[in-house]
């Protein structure tokens, strides 16, 4: 892989992680309880504007796409922390005798599997 391809993949991973974190935050798929979307959007708006400004800047200077991906990933981690504070674990329909021990130990496992897994899948698809 060439050097310009690696910043592109970092940007893709970070932005996919952000989009998937926003999806789980708004309760799609319904793993965790839904929060107050309007209040959270007011908290997120300055960071969203920064992400979009970096996206526009990376169109002019392609190496800024790395910074775009890193800021997007950081913003996704912020959303994960907010979901973790809001809930003690996934919704009850996900609990069964096989998963209750795992969910009690790692309550954010579904969030991480969904966001990191699908973002990594997107990067793998983009590589080939």
What residue numbers bound the domain in which 76 lies? Answer: 5-127
Q: For 69-102, how does the pLDDT look when each residue is reduced to its tens digit (9 = 90+)?
A: 999 999 999 999 999 998 878 888 777 777 778 8
Q: 3-state secondary structure string, the chain?
A: CCCCHHHHHHHHHHHHHHHHHHHHHCCCCCCCCCCCHHHHHHHHHHHHHHHHHHHHHHHHCCCHHHHHHHHHHHHHHHHHHHHHHHCCCCCHHHCCCCCHHHHHHCCCHHHHHHHHHHHHHHHHHHHC
Asked whether 25 and 39 are in contact (CB, 8 A), the reply is: no
pTM of structure: 0.88
| Domains in the chain, number | 1
pLDDT score of 27: 86
Q: For 39-76, how does the pLDDT look when each residue is reduced to its tens digit (9 = 90+)?
A: 888 989 999 999 999 999 998 988 899 999 999 999 99
């Amino acid at each position: 892989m060439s050097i310009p391809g690696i910043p592109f993949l970092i940007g893709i991973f970070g932005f996919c992680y952000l989009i998937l974190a926003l999806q789980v935050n708004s309760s799609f798929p319904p793993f965790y309880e839904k929060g107050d979307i309007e209040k959270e959007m007011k908290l997120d708006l300055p960071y969203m504007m920064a992400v979009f400004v970096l996206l526009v800047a990376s169109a002019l200077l392609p190496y800024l796409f790395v910074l775009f991906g890193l800021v997007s990933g950081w913003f996704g981690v912020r959303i994960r922390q907010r979901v973790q504070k809001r809930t003690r674990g996934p919704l009850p329909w996900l609990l069964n005798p096989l998963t209750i021990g795992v969910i009690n130990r790692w309550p954010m496992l579904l969030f991480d599997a969904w966001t990191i897994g699908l973002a990594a899948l997107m990067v793998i698809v983009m590589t080939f």
